[in-house]
Chain A
Amino acid sequence: MARPVLEVHDLHVTFRTDGGLVPAVDGIDFAVAAGETLAIVGESGSGKSVSSAAVMGLLPGNADVTGEVLLDGRDLVGLPSDELRKVRGNDIALVFQDALSALNPYYSVGWQVAEAYRLHHGKSRDASKKEAQRQAVRMLDLVGIPDAARRANSYPHEFSGGMRQRVVIAMALVNNPKVLIADEPTTALDVTVQAQIMRLLEDVQEEFGTALVLISHDLGVVAEVADDVLVMYAGRAAERGTVRDLFHRAAHPYSLGLLGAMPRVDVPPKPRLTTIPGSPPSPGSISTGCPFQPRCAYTERVGERCITERPELTPRPGEGDHEAACHLGRRPSDA
């Protein structure tokens, strides 16, 4: 792997609420290099979206963030808000899940893309206003909005869901960021449109050499586009590795559960899709032991350790740095 653009070390996020401190992310590490794609996978509430918001510095005031978020070696955690502002939308950009609510209904899409440009190119005002509009149209054209020069004057509600997501991607890419974080970018879209948007993300990534952090619960998408995968569970990393490590040599029972819940065409069909029993623990409710233990089918085989000792990430066989946080030594399927 080339030198990473974005490195996250030991990231912790804790929310101060009326009910006390609630940990949402409990020490995760990941890295992504230019042109590569890292997928962060997990159920809702696993901390994947909070992690991305923490990287962008977009968490509300009651969130405490510790650890390191290194962008080209520069730590973003604790950066003064004015410095952070210059990074957001310029070096790191975000694509949201729901494009309709992510776009401001009161401004034309061209204006909104141009605003993203102007916020990071604004000195001589008039020259840059025209230039920003030109850039916006260019970007809208590039993401596949037909007749972009005219459509730039339209408002978000006048676009279809897929076209709106293209606008959001244009807005995120207009400053040619080094890192693009896409938070469930296709969840709100029709299946056929999902594929188009993913292809678009791949295309722009290739063209600009952007590092892509893809947050998703759709393993089908992940298998197609990701280079590396991080599986999160209850605010912690359950497993990480290359995409082939995860799909062929998954070591964590939770990863296996996610894979079992996914329909596949590349392996012989199983009689039925499996589901993971139970639901993820609410944040902060686990004190000791393995957070997945209450739902894990292999607890009996390991014994008391699952309840008393929290498993750390340990190396597993695989292509690269394949690691899993499970007391089970062997791959569960070999047992």
Chain B
Amino acid sequence: MPDLAWFVVRRLAAAVLVMLALSFAVYLIFYAIPADPANLACGKPCTPDRLEQARHFMQLDQSTIQQYLNFLKGIFAGRTFGDGTAAVHCNAPCFGYSFPLARPVTTLILERLPITASIALGAAVLWLIIGVSLGVVAALNRGRPLDRLSVGFALVGVASPSFLIGLLAILVFGFWLNMVPVSGYIPLTDSPVDWAWHLVTPWLVLAVLQAASYIRLTRAQMMEELNLDHITTARAKGAGEARVVLTHGLRGALVPIVTLFGLDLGGLLGGAILTEKVFSMQGLGDLLISAVAQLDVAVVVGTTLFSAFLIILANLLVDIVHGVLDPRVSHG
């Protein structure tokens, strides 16, 4: 399909441009910081001499543009701070180096990513299933009790801040009923069962809340879709109700659902910040919050850019999936 390939190439180019613009903006904003990171690194007592040394070592004495170019170069070729025996290497792809933690930002992100990804992906699967199926059921039973129940559930879900419901869930299921663990993360490789068991509550909380907007979206889309003429055509052809609803109705509602899903998932992978805090899990969101508290600019910039990258990637994938799902987008 050359149409689709050309479409993907155009989208990819646009995404790269947005990413470049974004990274430059983030760099400008965060390196205009009044607090000098070199100050922290220089230790006490901090003589002007030592401060200058530290600035030079951290390459903060160069112009902002030069620093940005160094940063870009680091992503593809890696960077080295200082020279000789004191030199610090940051291998490609280098998203900066945290001097307070003495670790490359890439390593820090990769350490935390599995936790955030575990929370986000597990919850995403659940909320997609719950949200779409309840939305379809509601649309088919418009105005009847099943519809009202789904709509009411969705309303409460939309109106509930995730941290509030998370706290309540921990209170009820963790402390009062003592059914589930209340916090902590066990790596999947250590014990898949414990991994899932510790994630059940965050998954459910996130899934139930997120499902709400999917119920609303799916319901509205399905009601619109099922009123279209081609649905009557499908019935006139002799298609059964299940086929009419799923093959012909849901197919048309899929594009906006997939769009929402991609963007939600992309945003969440960049840091399930509230969920991580509520369930005391050390994911990317926690990395960012502690970095802000410690004035660790490199980590703040690195995580911000990483989550921006995920969102842009999600946007790109959504666009491409959109092109695949809707022939009108990619075919002329």
Binding site for B on A (CB under 8 A): 56, 58, 81-82, 85-90, 93-94, 96, 98, 101-108, 115-116, 119-120, 154-155, 157-158, 168, 171
A101–B228 CB distance below 8 A: yes
B328–A105 CB distance below 8 A: yes
Interface pairs (24), CB distance under 8 Å: A58-B235, A85-B239, A86-B238, A87-B238, A96-B232, A96-B233, A101-B229, A101-B230, A102-B232, A105-B252, A106-B251, A106-B252, A106-B326, A108-B327, A115-B239, A119-B238, A119-B243, A120-B238, A154-B331, A155-B327, A157-B331, A158-B331, A158-B332, A171-B233
Contact among A56, A86, A102, A154 with B230 in the assembled complex (CB-CB below 8 Å): A102
Among B230, B234, B239, B241, chain A packs the most CB atoms within 10 A around the CB of B230
Contact among B229, B239, B252 with A96 in the assembled complex (CB-CB below 8 Å): B229
Q: Report the nearest A residue to B252, measured CB to CB.
A: A106
How close is B256's CB to chain A, nearest CB, in angstroms?
Answer: 13
How close is B223's CB to chain A, nearest CB, in angstroms?
Answer: 13
Q: Report the nearest A residue to B326, measured CB to CB.
A: A106
- How many A-B contacts at CB < 8 Å in the complex? 77
Docked complex: B203-237 residues within 8 A CB-CB of A? 228-230, 232-237
Question: At the interface, yes or no: B48 with Cβ under 8 Å from chain A?
Answer: no
B contact residues around A119 at 8 Å (CB): 237-239, 243
How close is B324's CB to chain A, nearest CB, in angstroms?
Answer: 11
Given A105-B326, A105-B328, residue A88 in contact with residue B235 (CB < 8 A): yes
Q: What is the CA–CA distance of A120 and B234 in the complex, to the nearest angstrom?
A: 13
How close is B167's CB to chain A, nearest CB, in angstroms?
Answer: 43
Contact size class for B?
Answer: 20 to 34
Question: At the interface, yes or no: B108 with Cβ under 8 Å from chain A?
Answer: no
How close is B94's CB to chain A, nearest CB, in angstroms?
Answer: 44
10 A-B pairs besides A102-B229, A119-B237 with CB distance below 8 A are: A86-B238, A88-B236, A101-B229, A102-B232, A102-B233, A104-B233, A105-B326, A155-B327, A155-B328, A157-B328
Among B236, B326, B328, chain A packs the most CB atoms within 10 A around the CB of B236
Q: Report the nearest B residue to A120, measured CB to CB.
A: B238
Given A101-B229, A105-B326, residue A116 in contact with residue B331 (CB < 8 A): no
Question: At the interface, yes or no: B15 with Cβ under 8 Å from chain A?
Answer: no
Q: What is the CA–CA distance of A86 and B234 in the complex, to the nearest angstrom?
A: 13
Among A85, A90, A104, A107, chain B packs the most CB atoms within 10 A around the CB of A104
A contact residues around B327 at 8 Å (CB): 105-106, 108, 155, 157
